[in-house]
Amino acid sequence: MVRLFRRTPTARGRRGIERQGRIIDERIGGALAAGRGRSRSDGGAGEALGDEGRAATTLVGRRVELAQILDAVDAGRSGPRAMLLLGEAGTGKTALLAAAARHGREVGSLVLSARGCAAEAEQPFAVLHQLLVPLLPKAGDLPGHQRQALEAAFGVVPATPGHDRKSLRVAVLNLLAGVSRHRPVLLIVDDVRHVDRDSLDVLGFAMRRLTTEAVTVLLAARGHTAPEVPDLPVLSLAPLSRREAARLLDAQPEPPAGRARIDLLEQAAGNPLAIIELCRAAREAPTGGGPPQTLRIQEMFADRSRALPAATQRLILYAAASPDQENLQTIMAAAGAGADLGMWAPAEDAGLIGISGGRVGFRHPLVRTAAYDGAPAHLRQRAHTDLAAVLGAEPERRAWHLAAARTGTDESVAAALEDTAELAGRRGGFFATARALERSAECSPDPRDRARRYAKAIRAVQNAGDPSWARELYGKVAALTRDPGPLGVAACGAGTALSLFGRQREAFEALTRHPPADGTTSLSLAAAAGAVAYQSGLPEMRRSLPGLLDRTERKDGDTPDADSSYAGLTEAGAADAVRAVVLAEADPVTHAPPLLRRLGRRRKPARPPTGLAETARLHAIAAIAWLADETDLCVTTFRQAYDLLRVHGSIGVGARSFVPMASALVDSGRWTEADELLEEAATLAAVHQWSHVQVDVAALRATLRGLRGRTGGEPPDDPVWTAVGLEENRATRAHLLRAAGTAAMAAGDLDEAFRHFRRLFDEDGVPAHYFLSPRSVVDLALVAQRTGRREEAAPVLAAVRDAVGDRPTSRMTLLLHHAAALAGAPRDAEHHFRLAAVNPAGDQWPVARAQARLHYAQWLRRKRRPLEARPLLSAALETFVRLGAEGLADEARGELRASGVAASPSRADPLSGLTAQQQQIVRLAARGLRNREIAEQLMLSPRTVSSHLYNVYPKLGVSSRHQLRDLFEDR
């Protein structure tokens, strides 16, 4: 629900609307016509590559840096500009310089480039010659002694005993200044650390004096400390974010999936070159197994590594063989090196490793790969055996090294790894648990044990939120056994994976195909099927859910399967909550409100449970609250669940709940928190290739941008909008249509907005998605009123009234009154407006409440009752300004002026500038909780709570808890 009045969209806004509308139309039309839709791959949508091929991929995640560099190149037309790029090898310095050179040529600059070389670092003026040799024909314009000094330095003429460096410096300065008077000059020097000192001396002299000429200088150097060059603005290239690293990986040919994908991203640590080369190595690995072909990677560091003493190379191998970078003492003991740290010195001097805090760290991610894969197989095996021998007191790490040293199966090693997985699971380390269980299965000689351990690994992978890996493991279980127990657990992981890939029909079939062995496994399958049914929006799936729940009832003598994904559901009523959410997903109108009330009446245990059982219970209650339109309870409960997950470092369990949570935050006016959650969800969706979540997040961001009244942003990239088949992902379709309609309304194109909102319902007005479509009924009614299409909206309003039943939720009651006031019978408009704008229940949804007041006030003003409209407009304006809904605030101000009131600026939301965690702390403090109580509730330390309050008080303009309470009285 966004702005009401019609205005002419800007040219850029109009282009964005048209493009976004075309994307939506083509995708929805194609999906519905074909009756199906598939992602181009099982992963997310990667960034399309341009004509530059591989070079373009290195610029993924460098948009901000590239913009700064190109700005410097453009600014060189009006004055000198200089910049120093710093970053480790492979971070994209050379690619950015190449992009700057291309841009410089495109805008008409003369581009002069050079690169330092270690072999020429001792040769005087080597780089200066590379850089300026194209300008030698211009040297004839210089005074004789300067020309002679320049030609002598370049070896064109013999050097004379009397020539001095000052003449050379001045000659270069005058040469560049003279050329720049006719054409801007761009000087680019890469690898500055290998530039000879004579060249640096002359270039530094010139840079310090080129204060008015159109000369831009771009330098690049390895590392993060500036070399000996004049003081320049520094642009440091940090590792790519997890999201951008995933995008770069997806841009490579045949990127790995599953565990290999996660391992590669972790090993690369955000280094673009490492991502590209490790992907290449994985792609070229022998099909029959064995280590990847890493000869290219080894050659990158060959010169430095071959020069090391044999003892140092041995130490580096032992360090590389340690997956968690064992402490220094362990590595040296395993290698038999004693306590002499001097053995590491050659490697430190070569820039290969660094020692700090009793640990060994590799300077570049590829150094570790080169050191390990470059060693003969028998030396790698010996390293793991020696490391296992000194780790007798640490069974977790010892088991890994024993497994790495084995060439076949070994039940003792498999059992040790399974025990290791149990320890990791109790700590909540789901990725570590999954890795250990998968390796345990690989070491298992008995196929039944192998299948059982793979199934347990799927459970951990499902908790970690990685669908590609779960699908891989499912294939292994299905090939090993027909036992319904492991197959049921595996099917749960496979179904969840297919759903996150956007393949809902396949997911539902996978979840309902295998007869489960016990009630808890059945419940895990039913819970996953309920989520699939909600995402798909397909009636036939929802009708099947009650039957699936009938299979979850435990029979006498049944014992929970320890390997079930919900083995702990009997704890603290978690199973009841999960059963309830499946019923609510099947029929929210009938089941969600009463089930939520029943769960709320349950007595809380004296000691609240923790772990996955409590996480499952909280997620279920929050989902039911979402379906029952209890938005505040939904947000609060999801927050509690996420806090538990973050303690365990695995928010991936919440993959399917991010979109409902973000939607609830948007609807309840918590937009800053929504921004943070959507950013986190976008990162996880890119890393783990949650296809439909990527699309949903993009759509919600576009919706939020429209609600804020911003029309300048471009719609999401085409691949993101078209990554899933919309006919079987009706929830995603609803999010996309709402986003497109909201963007059109923000730009003032109400005809376009009507077209999008109307497609949330079929020809007879029946909601396309049984839950999400009715929540946009006011949007449709609003644009129908403004475009003279009341009659076209009438069947939709009638169908929505039928869909929500005789006892709709408070939210749907308010929305239906609001819609009826806008597009219903004119004689009943005031009655419906009053019910929509006055009911206190509407305070949960401040945007909708403020819009109802705005629309009611507009109706009153048209009826020549401005005095009654003014308080409604003032209240609406305060809400819009507080939330940051700029377009709606402007509209409310205009209405106030028209009603005879000079609208004064309203105060913005004081919490909007705080992080989500700071907002939680402030809210609890305002309720009177002490620091220790807040810390216990949020699982923080009291010192952290105190620090946050100390920092936020000045931002809020308060100095005590009492003032915090006053701050919240009006909220």
The range of the structural domain enclosing residue 950 comes to 916-969
Helix or strand or coil: residue 189? strand
The first and second tokens of residue 931, run together, are 């620091």
Looking at the predicted structure, is the pLDDT value of residue 898 above 70? yes
The first and second tokens of residue 638, run together, are 């999801």
Looking at the predicted structure, is the pLDDT value of residue 856 above 90? yes
Residue 780: predicted pLDDT: 96
Distance CA 848, CA 1 (A): 7
Report the pLDDT averaged over residues 581-591: 94
Domain stop point among 236, 266, 296? 236
The first and second tokens of residue 381, run together, are 């095996």
User: Of 157, 224, 227, 232, whose CA–CA distance to 192 is shortest?
Assistant: 227
Residue 831: predicted pLDDT: 94
Report the pLDDT averaged over residues 37-43: 36
Distance CA 405, CA 390 (A): 14
- 947 lies in a domain? yes
Q: Give the pLDDT band of residue 968 (cuts 50, 70, 90).
A: low
Residue 570: predicted pLDDT: 57
Distance CA 787, CA 655 (A): 39
The H or E element containing residue 81 is: strand 81-87
Q: Is 950 exposed, middle or buried (0-12, 13-18, 19+ CB in 10 A)?
A: exposed
Distance CA 747, CA 88 (A): 44
Output the domain CATH number for residue 175.
3.40.50.300
- 386 lies in a domain? no
What is the length of the chain? 971
Domain stop point among 236, 254, 270? 236
Residue 31: predicted pLDDT: 39
Range from 20-29, 289-298, 832-841, 959-968 that averages highest in pLDDT:
832-841
Please tell me the total count of domains within the chain: 2
Which residues lie closer than 8 Å to 499 by C-beta, 6 or more apart? 507, 528, 531, 532, 535, 656, 692
Distance CA 716, CA 734 (A): 16
Residue 196: predicted pLDDT: 87
Range from 23-37, 156-170, 295-309 that averages highest in pLDDT:
295-309
Contact (CB, 8 A) for 25 and 737:
no
Looking at the predicted structure, is the pLDDT value of residue 723 above 90? no
Averaged confidence pLDDT in the chain: 81
For every residue of 196-257, DSSP letters joined together read -HHHHHHHHHHHHH-SSSSEEEEEEEEBSS--SS----EEE-PPPPHHHHHHHHHTSSS---
- 899 lies in a domain? no
* Numbers of helices and strands, H then E, in the chain: 48, 7
- 316 lies in a domain? no
Output the domain CATH number for residue 937.
1.10.10.10
- 709 lies in a domain? no
- 359 lies in a domain? no
Stated pTM of the model = 0.79
Other residues' Cβ atoms within 10 Å of the Cβ of residue 915: 14
Domain stop point among 213, 236, 259? 236
For every residue of 282-330, DSSP letters joined together read HHTS-TT-S----HHHHHHTHHHHHTS-HHHHHHHHHHHT-TT--BHHH
Report which DSSP code applies to 709: T
- 402 lies in a domain? no
Q: Inter-axis angle of helices 467-480 and 447-464, to 10 degrees?
A: 160
User: Of 27, 24, 30, whose CA–CA distance to 743 is shortest?
Assistant: 24
Distance CA 513, CA 487 (A): 10
Q: How far is CA 516 from the centre of its chain?
A: 35
- 226 lies in a domain? yes
